[in-house]
Structure 1
Amino acid sequence: MNAAPPKITPMLQQYLEIKEQYPDTILFYRMGDFYEMFFDDALTAAKILGITLTSRSAKDEANKIPMCGVPFHAVTGYLGRMIKAGYRVALCEQVEDPKQAKGIVRREVVRVVSPGVTTDDQLLDAKSDCYVCAASFSRKSAKEMLAGLAVVDVSTGRFQVSEVIFAPSDPAPLIDEFTRLRPAELILPQSELEEWTGLTDLLAAHLGQLCLTGRPDMHFDSRAALSALTEHFHTTSLAGFGCAAYTAAVNAAGALLLYLKETQKSELSHIKQLSPLNQGGFLIIDDASRRNLELTETLVGGQREGSLLFAIDRTATPMGARLLRRWLLFPLQEREQIEARLASVQELLQRPDARAAIRDLLDSIYDLERLCSRLVLGHGNARDMGAIKTSLAQLPAIHVWLAECTSPLLRAMAAEFDSLTDLHQLIDAAIRDDAPISLREGLLIKEGYHDELDRLLVLLRDGKQLILALETSERERSGLAKLKVGYNKVFGYYFEVSRSQAEALPDYFIRKQTLVNAERFITPELKELENSIATAQERRLELEYELFLQVRSQLVEHNQRLLAVADLLARIDVLACFAELAYRHRYCRPEINANRSLSIAEGRHPVIERSLEPGRFVPNDVHLDQERDEILIITGPNMAGKSTVLRQTALIVLMAHLGSFVPAESADICLIDRIFTRVGAMDDLRRGQSTFMVEMNETANILNNATENSLVILDEIGRGTSTYDGLAIAWAVVEELAQKDGIGIKTLFATHYHELTDLAATNARVQNYSIAVKEWNNTIIFLHKLIKGATNRSYGIQVASLAGVPEHVITRAYEILKNIEIGEFNLQGQPTIAAGKKSKKNAPRQLSLFTPPTHPALALLAAINPDELSPKQALELIYQALACLKASDP
């Protein structure tokens, strides 16, 4: 006999109905002081959160309903763990007073939290934007696809669109855009989730954890999307935002806006405009180059510490830190804008009093962007308002310092500065400094802000004194000196007099009880006061909550002013950060030229320099132009510093385009449109690519997309394959870089192929450089200095010795190297030393790592047909072969 199914109570029935509306989320269902989860949600949540899995009672084990729960006051931490695991969570709250509910208390989902849609500080990285992205795809031609992208950071209200053309067989341009933005969540049309599985898998490989969310196809319809956007922005079109031409991106933006409104249950009034994420006007750095240069995270481990961003981030506010990251990913390419930033940095550098004062004031400012967004979305509490008040208190002083600046950019900031004095006064007058996080526990509103609240506070604080004051008043009015107030649980407060005096009381005294020797009375005024005292606490909590919502609503009305000030403070913060960097680390102001030349004197690596003791880093000079020093072939041993010179050159150029001072004695930088790098050798197993394939993909990207205004950094091209194949590829790549479009591309090329140095003899724009070393007692000392001229040695064995390779292995390596260099090979193509004293008669033959060069005499013989030779020709051939043998005799 089958067991009966578990009984579904009204509460569980309500849970299942709500869950059906949010099938792709984990439903946190509020029950009293806990959020409960049931069925499969409970199984998933218990495992991720590490909490106890229980069950609701049932008659048999098979039909027990899995259940788990978390305390509502600690929900943020649990939400964070669910979000980091890639899940979306629907928060379901009680939206009805249990005292007034008829039957089950009504509940509704008040918001959905996902990896890309959250405003809680504990779930966000203060120094990085948190983007949710929507994508819409259409075919542009037989070989090209058009991707429309829309991204928004709900915590700040920044909403942008972009379009990318790519080939289905090569989605690299699209991957570059995604890896630059690094969205935490990607929204796609439901019908396309399976169609684009290959792309989403590739994105997951690049981005790590990526939350995919499917949405109804009709939300991506052009009419529905445009309608949603124009209705939200209260416009008739998107032309005023410069987005009308972004058809595919607008479709994605509309779908994204609908998703946000559905999940946040809010009008999103802090999202006031849609702006194009234009690629024009920015120096472009593709995904491979960002990784190779370790701009935002290290190549190994993906850590922020050790990256360029970590090294240059001296910002004082979270808004400034996020803006610095955006500037780093989107460097300027317009000379006027760069010069404006540099002038501002120079002024702040030359005015240490202003710089120090501004940075101290900024240090007291909280994350105004995200605080403002929390208010708009209805999540902001009194603590958030306190943080806003503290921040706004710093604005007048910042404005005073800014008004004294003379550089154009800082002067323009001073002109648009809004001190928000009215908002500061509002919060200061209304919100208590010691207000709790909860909005339902009172202690939110200051005394003196609202007359009715003040009266309630007096009742709660002075209730007994008010009762005694009424007693005194009635004594005087009645003339009965022994009239007194009493209290019991049956009648509450009452007046009591002796029976003999009862007849002397005024008519408004109402008899309630007769005792042996006394009479008890009440009056309308006494009962009204008693009721006021009894209900004061409840009314006070309701009124404080109402007043708080009114204050929050007033602040929300000015959210655009708050966001504008937050943006302005972020810009001031980054410029002051650049000035502080220049002061602390002796950075110089770069000159920005228009003559396509790049000269750096005493340049230093901004990250590596910081990891060494002061004075230990060896600076280097680099000059590139497109006349005589277009391609620098740099040779030298491993560990000598070739890669450091390459990377620091690219980083100095990049920092100059940010508008930052740079680590050098002087720098004259031309405007660069793209920076390309091919650095290091590493398998990319997640993407199914070998070391050599990674090298060739990155090299192909450079050769196909670099222009005369680009900077190319190449480190060890071709070493992922055989020696001669690698050398041939490297040679051909250098030739192409020197000849492309008739003018070539500025390039730094580090290599161990010393044969490449011969290119300088055939091409006037190729120059040889090397990293200097000093030989001493059969070892080497690294000088880390870039010098003119090539080297014909890699010192690999000496480096192996420095690394601790056993001495007998080093000695053996020298013997083999000697014989390889003098061409002593046996008939099997092995160095003759391989058959020496260390070989055993029956030992297996070691395959040569190198293809031996053909002996000139053998080459001569292989080229003739003996049957066709005359006697005289045969004799001449013998003499030629003898000459070859003598020439090769060591």
Structure 2
Amino acid sequence: MGNETTAVLGMDVAGLTPVMRQYRAAKDAHPDALVFFRLGDFYELFFEDAVVAARELQLTLTSRDKTKTVPMCGVPYHAAEGYLQKLLRKGYKIALCEQMEDPKQTKTIVRREVTRVLTPGTALDPALGAEQSNYLASIVVTGSGAGSVCGLALLDLSTGEFRATEFAGVGAWAQLVDELGRVRPVELLYGQGLLGGVNLAGEATEEASAGVEGIRTKTPLEEWVFTAEYAVPLLRNHFKVHSLDGMGLGGHDAAGVAAGALLHYMRATKQGGLEHVDGLRFYERSNSLELDAVSVRNLELIEPLFSGESSQTTLFYTLDACCTPMGKRLLRATLLRPSCDRTEIELRLEAVAEATGDLRRREGLRRGMDGVLDLERLLGRVALDSAGPREVLALAATLGCLPGLLGALKEFDAQRWASLMNGFDAMEDLHEMIVRTIADEPPVSLADGGAIRAGIDAELDELRELSRSGRQALAAIEERERTRTGIGSLKVRFNNVFGYYLEVTKANAKAVPANYERKQTLVNAERFTTPELKEYETKILTAQERSAEIERRLFAELRRQLLDAAGRMRETARRVAEVDLLACFAHLATLRGWVQPEVDESGVLEFIQARHPVVERRLEESGGGRFVPNSAHLDADAGPAVLLITGPNMGGKSTYLRQAALLVVMAQCGCFVPAERMRLGLVDRIYTRIGASDNVARGRSTFMVEMTETAAILNTATSRSLVLLDEMGRGTATYDGLSLAWATVEYLHDRIGARTLFATHYHELTLLADRLERLKNLRVTVKETAGGIVFLHTVEAGPASKSYGIEVARLAGLPTGVIARAREVLKVHERTETQQVREASPVATQQLQLTMFTPLSQRIVDRLGEVDVDGLTPREALNLLAELQRELKG
């Protein structure tokens, strides 16, 4: 099929029909898109496009000619939206080739043109969640090696959000890739050759390509698009400014070029005037708490760790009590970029505290957002000319809620609430303009008629009245002419050839008035017309077309007025989003008993009787019991800075680590936290190394991925960072892993000084507490019973001496024979280790006496440590020894 298609496309244009020549021109102009070619009531696809569409959409593949050399399939024009979205979600691009003339009004072939190119990054997907963004990304690299600069621009066309950033120096490309992994755009624009064939910022080409492999749709553009001479003037012209410095792009040429290339792509794909894209913001990752893609995934901030799992495992789900789509998107964005500005955080916390303390005012504020729809996306649909009358009326309904929301906002006194209230534009003029123009119950499509309210345009009202009363008016003319002429059988009739006419029988022909104009003579009748009937005929026949024309004009005028106020609407949407977010935080704090964290510039991270917000909610919803709270204290300045956590699998080590990170994220978002008390010295970045994963496509084993992530931590963490390391070194041989883990703990303690939670099964690491003064041992507790072990999920001071791995395996359901054999093998290793301890030097013995192979349980060690040897009588000492021996044998 592919060879036949190529052969047909290579035919001389003269060998194609006029319609197929039109198709050929459209396909030549958009070779990387599926061309949806409008033919009457269908979109048709031909050649290879038809083969692809039939396969992806499960359509029947037919042929346009008898030789079957022109494959063809199609979808109904009025039902095309679902098919288009399915292809877009699969990463395809689509060129819509529309009929530019009414087939009824032309005697030649209908003119057709590509009116818009849909891509995953430019299409408005109705299935897109209210909290989700649909980012189109553009990247550019200037310089090389240490002098390289990577620019990144992001645009969500559905909301008009437009921002850019850049990364410089060694590691710039890695930072760019990490940001792409965190933002997860649906489409990526880049210069031809950037991802293949040349070195990129001093890195191997295959590494550069692999870094963006997770983005399904990648669109190369000509290199000249990514030049400052072309891209920057595009931005200045669009925003009507002389300089981009006011948008923060001064000195950031790479970011400006990436943004300009994005704007070029919008125009090349014919996305309209883009009036809602009214601003560009430069952002620095360092201005917020940095969370790399790995940490966002490991902490399950937005999406569950494993695909297919419920979103209930995410922090976003736990915190999402927002009332508006704008608030939901702001919550998502805030979780990905918590603030690092102490003043900003404290202003949010103050506002949340005021709302938390007053049920009436808080609920009044939240009720004020009832009925507020997605203001940003409704504006986006208006700007992209895809909003029908009902969407515009929905926009009016949202605007109608704003005065009430402003009234509820005035009830609050906190500085943040006041700043949101001052300058809050309720846009009552726009609301009035829409409801004055659009009918109360408009049709879905403007083409259906009846969208414009009566009384707006006198001619439109007359035409509508003419259409509604056409039969009555014709009947009135007929009755009047019968009376005037005395011809009782006179009739007003209509046909497609003559239009409206008066028919009189032959017998009454002599009574016909002189002003009647003969049109046709029949055997038994004569047909006439009058100037009045001609005029009326013209009005009736053109009334519907003229009505539609007037409605289109009035709707376009309304659309233009709304777009002139796009900046006002976007600013109001921003304020509504923040009001919603703060009210959401206050609602959750009251509902779940959360407390206000204390934020300062110290090196402290302390939480007392804190709970994991996600796990706690899931336990409540499932009726699975109460979450066991725990506490922690770290201090990067005075110690302990490193908490070394040991204990069995399933004991709660990973939950404890994630809990600490989520509390930090919540606090720096301005949210209250689930704890009795929390004090937080601001964190600049959170690092996580949790779980095991590989990347076979890039030739990386589980251990290589683990080491790569650990290297990123050790090379970039600061004393203000929070580091979470869980089971490091388990992907290699025991002593290799132990050695790496040991050295990593020392490096974090001695060189970096970051607040660190390090969970491990290498019990040998607990010896580090004797030589690292700012390291503290913690253990998760279990209770040993005759029937096995019980997890207490409590974290307490001290090292654990056993991993209880075999007991956990038994609980998991391993066969009894396997468990029994494992215990036998464990005893052999324990005896071997004991023998090695006896033969070792005194220093070595001291170092190895608490290794993971020691048979003593922690409980026995603790009892010996508590005994007052000098106070024991000989009998009491013998009794104690016998009791401990019986426990060991048991």
* Counterpart Cα distance in 2 of 1:488 and 1:392: 48
Report the equivalent of 2:291.
285
Report the equivalent of 2:810.
801
Q: Say if 2:710 is the partner of 1:668.
A: no
SS at match of 1:785: strand
Report the equivalent of 2:759.
750
Report the equivalent of 1:620.
630
Report the equivalent of 1:262.
268
Cα distance, 1:823 vs. partner? 2.8
1:330-377 deviation per Cα after TM superposition (whole angstroms, max 9, x unaligned): 110001111111122222322333333443443422222122112112
SS at match of 1:300: coil
Report the equivalent of 1:78.
83
SS at match of 2:633: strand
SS at match of 1:669: strand
Q: How does 1:753-764 map to 2 (within 5 A)?
A: 753-764=762-773
Q: Say if 2:560 is the partner of 1:553.
A: yes
Q: How does 1:43-192 map to 2 (within 5 A)?
A: 43-58=51-66, 60-61=67-68, 64-122=69-127, 124-140=128-144, 142-165=145-168, 167=170, 171-192=173-194
Deviates more, 1:577-586 or 1:107-116: 577-586
Q: How does 1:217-366 map to 2 (within 5 A)?
A: 217-301=223-307, 304-366=311-373
Q: How does 1:380-419 map to 2 (within 5 A)?
A: 380-419=387-426
In structure 2, the CA distance between the partners of 1:187 and 1:36, relative to structure 1 (3 Å rule), is: same
Q: For structure 1, which runs of at least 5 residues remain unmatched after alignment?
A: 826-830, 832-851, 861-889
* Counterpart Cα distance in 2 of 1:445 and 1:323: 35
* Counterpart Cα distance in 2 of 1:183 and 1:723: 40
Letter matched to residue 616 of structure 1: R
Report the equivalent of 1:694.
705
Q: How does 1:697-776 map to 2 (within 5 A)?
A: 697-740=708-751, 744-776=753-785
TM, length-normalised to structure 1: 0.87
Report the equivalent of 1:424.
431
Equivalent residue in structure 2 for 1:442, among 444, 449, 473: 449
Does the 8 A contact of 2:138 with 2:261 survive in 1? yes
Cα distance, 1:817 vs. partner? 2.6
1:385-422 deviation per Cα after TM superposition (whole angstroms, max 9, x unaligned): 12212211211111111111111112221222211212
* Counterpart Cα distance in 2 of 1:167 and 1:708: 22
Equivalent residue in structure 2 for 1:822, among 805, 817, 831: 831
SS at match of 1:434: coil
SS at match of 1:362: coil
Cα distance, 1:546 vs. partner? 2.4
Letter matched to residue 93 of structure 1: E
Q: How does 1:586-605 map to 2 (within 5 A)?
A: 586-605=593-612
* Counterpart Cα distance in 2 of 1:69 and 1:369: 34
Does the 8 A contact of 2:500 with 2:529 survive in 1? no
In structure 2, the CA distance between the partners of 1:263 and 1:853, relative to structure 1 (3 Å rule), is: farther
In structure 2, the CA distance between the partners of 1:754 and 1:31, relative to structure 1 (3 Å rule), is: same
Q: For structure 2, which runs of at least 5 residues remain unmatched after alignment?
A: 845-888
Does the 8 A contact of 1:119 with 1:370 survive in 2? no
1:829-863 deviation per Cα after TM superposition (whole angstroms, max 9, x unaligned): xx9xxxxxxxxxxxxxxxxxxxx779449999xxx
Q: How does 1:473-552 map to 2 (within 5 A)?
A: 486-487=492-493, 489=495, 492-494=500-502, 508=515, 522-552=529-559
Letter matched to residue 177 of structure 2: I
1:502-536 deviation per Cα after TM superposition (whole angstroms, max 9, x unaligned): 7796x655566899999976542333223322322
Deviates more, 1:46-55 or 1:563-572: 563-572
Report the equivalent of 2:874.
none
TM, length-normalised to structure 2: 0.87
Number of aligned positions between the proteins: 823
SS at match of 2:773: coil
Cα distance, 1:655 vs. partner? 0.6
SS at match of 2:168: strand
* Counterpart Cα distance in 2 of 1:278 and 1:491: 70
1:723-778 deviation per Cα after TM superposition (whole angstroms, max 9, x unaligned): 2222222222111111125xx22111111111211222222211111111111115
SS at match of 1:718: coil
SS at match of 1:612: helix
Cα distance, 1:37 vs. partner? 0.7
Deviates more, 1:360-369 or 1:215-224: 360-369
Equivalent residue in structure 2 for 1:24, among 22, 32, 39: 32
Letter matched to residue 156 of structure 2: D
In structure 2, the CA distance between the partners of 1:514 and 1:749, relative to structure 1 (3 Å rule), is: closer
Cα distance, 1:791 vs. partner? 1.8
In structure 2, the CA distance between the partners of 1:859 and 1:501, relative to structure 1 (3 Å rule), is: closer
Equivalent residue in structure 1 for 2:206, among 184, 198, 202: 198
Flag the structure with larger Rg. 1
Cα distance, 1:642 vs. partner? 0.9
* Counterpart Cα distance in 1 of 2:491 and 2:567: 57
Letter matched to residue 643 of structure 1: S
* Counterpart Cα distance in 2 of 1:11 and 1:705: 61
RMSD: 3.0
Equivalent residue in structure 2 for 1:789, among 781, 791, 798: 798
Report the equivalent of 1:848.
none
* Counterpart Cα distance in 1 of 2:346 and 2:841: 66
Identity of aligned residues (%): 44
In structure 2, the CA distance between the partners of 1:501 and 1:49, relative to structure 1 (3 Å rule), is: closer
Cα distance, 1:446 vs. partner? 2.1
* Counterpart Cα distance in 2 of 1:173 and 1:402: 40
Does the 8 A contact of 1:482 with 1:497 survive in 2? no
Letter matched to residue 372 of structure 2: I
Cα distance, 1:447 vs. partner? 2.0
Q: Say if 2:472 is the partner of 1:465.
A: yes
* Counterpart Cα distance in 1 of 2:46 and 2:106: 23
Does the 8 A contact of 1:604 with 1:617 survive in 2? yes
Letter matched to residue 710 of structure 2: T
Cα distance, 1:326 vs. partner? 0.9
Q: Say if 2:21 is the partner of 1:13.
A: yes
Cα distance, 1:144 vs. partner? 4.9
SS at match of 1:676: strand
Cα distance, 1:657 vs. partner? 0.5
Does the 8 A contact of 1:317 with 1:367 survive in 2? yes
* Counterpart Cα distance in 2 of 1:231 and 1:672: 40
In structure 2, the CA distance between the partners of 1:455 and 1:483, relative to structure 1 (3 Å rule), is: farther
Cα distance, 1:23 vs. partner? 0.9
